[in-house]
Chains A and B, each alone.
Chain A
Amino acid sequence: MKLTAQEVEYVAHLARLEITPQEKEKFTAQLNDILLYIDKLNELDTKGVEPMSHAIGVTNAFREDNVVESIGTEKTLANAPDARGEFFRVPKVIE
């Protein structure tokens, strides 16, 4: 086992996912399968190979600092589940 049911529950909580006990069992098994499969990569000797974060060899993709007109408040709020005036409206959060 690479992953316990508690870890699955923890990760689900971090992602704000509610899962049933049945789902927890199922996902634990599935995730373990995936991790075991990926483990196969460890059979390769990667000594002296720099870790890479991207599969493509592109670097330094930049944009110039020129303003382009934004889409506007109306369009910005168009998909909002709740809005008031020029603002998105959400349940109160206080840090």
Chain B
Amino acid sequence: MEFEAVIGLEVHAQMLTDTKIFCNCSTKFGAAPNSHTCPVCLGMPGVLPVLNKKVVEYAMKMALATNCKINPTCEFARKNYFYPDLPKGYQISQYAYPLAEHGYVELEVNGGKKKIGITRIHMEEDAGKLLHDEHNPVSYVDLNRTGVPLIEIVSEPDIRSSEEAADYLKRLHEILVYLEICDGNMEEGSFRCDANVSIRPKGQKEFGTRTELKNMNSFRNVQRALEYEIKRQQYIVENGGAIVQETRLWDDAQGATNSMRGKEEAHDYRYFPDPDLVPVIVDAAWIDKIRVDMPELPQAKRERFISEYQISAYDAGVLTADKALAQYYEEVVAICAKPKQAANWLMGDVMKFLNEDKKTIRDCPIAAASLAEMINLIDAGTISGKMAKDIAEEMYRSGKKPQEVIAEKGMVQITDEAALAKTISSIIDANPQQLADYRAGKEKLFGYFVGQAMKATQGKANPQIVNDLLKKMLAGK
């Protein structure tokens, strides 16, 4: 029997605000334990949480970017449970009235497009961090993260494979980073994902029993965990077993999901409206204000790059994967007006240098204007493509402009035909055997003469002129 997977994802993204969602403590990562805390986030009696306006605005940006409907009124609710990382005994979240609902993200699948529905986006606070003692039966609690703002993005069960799940996550991640509302750092937990998975015989409408997967902290692990879980469920069903609805943890080292025993007891969170926090009313004027500030989103940018610059979908994808890279590219093209060459240089040599140094385009020592000028110099025939490779490297090492590098290294291309003809003539004189072989039909030797000419001019000869001259002179004309 053929099965299909049904997957829904819950993504938690940390909002890039300076302060927590309900108090003025810093959200900065890596501070001394329990130093970014105050009576509000510690859950002391009698304190009053007050909502950070920026969190609402950031969440609204994500809602608009994912085609959600922003509700005119939304409310905060208390989700009640006991855990040592939750000092109040409840998490402030949104339940019956979330900020936004009914959106979608588009994925590119086999040349077509597929919409993945977004059920809801809501705001909530993060919990603290637990460190477990390896030798003693104790855990240590750091409450710096308590109250850090999160949005939860819940998808519809529209995803049908682990690849689609990874693709969807990459799209969400890319949008969040483009909007500059989340740093997207998965290692530091700024972007986390849980998955709900079930399988059903292909063609069946009803959903199978689902399991919830947690503890996957990279795109790759999400994909691996889903692949494993789909296979596991399939094996059970094919052997006449039944799937148990449960939460399972991904074990990276083991490459498997394991049942989270000991927490079998069904959760009963007893949500109720938080009396400390008043409703949030979002009117059309506020939405418009946010909309005006929205940057061009990655998908729109990709499509524009393809049509405006006539570059391939692949190149457009690479160049828009990072907003700063896309911006750099556009700066280069604005000056040199050679989109294809700009794409090639950027994705080739420049990215290679940056990757070798584990740097991003933000730290690129080559100014966009310098790369553009270099491309112009190639186009004008002042330097050859080969020379440009050395110049680019030197520009990267020193941060100098192309003209400076050229002047320092005396790298200007030799385009003087008379001078080159003289050089070539002496090369021909020095290689009578090769000349005879070439004239006898060994045309491959042409390359040998080109090489000799480039060597004699330290690579400075204009290759087109050398080619033309060699053709004529080798033929004895």
Contacts of A47 in B (CB 8 A): none
| Contact (A87, B132) CB under 8 Å given A61-B278, A73-B34 | no
Q: Determine whether the beta carbon of B270 is less than 8 Å from that of A62.
A: no
Q: Determine whether the beta carbon of A70 is less than 8 Å from that of B17.
A: no
Among residues of A, the one whose C-beta sits closest to the C-beta of B268 is A14
Contacts of B270 in A (CB 8 A): 14
CA distance A94 to B139 in the complex (A): 9
CA distance A58 to B82 in the complex (A): 30
Q: Count A interface residues, CB 8 Å.
A: 34
A59 sits at the interface (CB 8 A): yes
Give chain B interface residues in 242-289, CB to chain A under 8 Å. Answer: 249, 260, 263, 268, 270, 273, 275, 277-281
Which of B36, B83, B281 has a CB less than 8 Å from the CB of A60? B281
Which of B53, B136, B273, B279 has a CB less than 8 Å from the CB of A64? B53
Q: Determine whether the beta carbon of A63 is less than 8 Å from that of B51.
A: yes
Main secondary structure of the interface of B (DSSP, over half): loop
**B58 → chain A, closest Cβ, in Å?**
10
B447 sits at the interface (CB 8 A): no
CA distance A31 to B112 in the complex (A): 59
B54 sits at the interface (CB 8 A): yes
Q: Determine whether the beta carbon of A76 is less than 8 Å from that of B19.
A: no
Q: Determine whether the beta carbon of B131 is less than 8 Å from that of A87.
A: yes
Q: Determine whether the beta carbon of A87 is less than 8 Å from that of B140.
A: yes
**B82 → chain A, closest Cβ, in Å?**
6
| Contact (A76, B42) CB under 8 Å given A67-B24, A70-B35, A92-B137 | yes
Contacts of A76 in B (CB 8 A): 34-35, 37, 42, 143
Binary flags per residue of A52-94, CB closer than 8 Å to B gives 1, else 0:
0110101111111111101111001100000011111111111
CA distance A68 to B23 in the complex (A): 9
B26 sits at the interface (CB 8 A): yes
**B474 → chain A, closest Cβ, in Å?**
73
Binary flags per residue of A11-55, CB closer than 8 Å to B gives 1, else 0:
000101000000000000000000000000000000000000110
Question: Other than the known A88-B143, A90-B84, what 6 A-B pairs have Cβ atoms closer than 8 Å?
Answer: A65-B17, A71-B37, A73-B32, A76-B35, A85-B140, A87-B141
| A positions within 8 Å CB-CB of B | 14, 16, 53-54, 56, 58-68, 70-73, 76-77, 84-95
28 contacts across the A-B interface (CB closer than 8 A): A14-B268, A53-B279, A54-B273, A60-B280, A61-B51, A62-B52, A63-B19, A63-B52, A65-B17, A65-B52, A67-B24, A67-B25, A70-B26, A70-B37, A71-B38, A73-B35, A73-B37, A86-B35, A87-B34, A87-B141, A88-B34, A88-B84, A89-B141, A90-B84, A90-B140, A91-B137, A95-B249, A95-B260
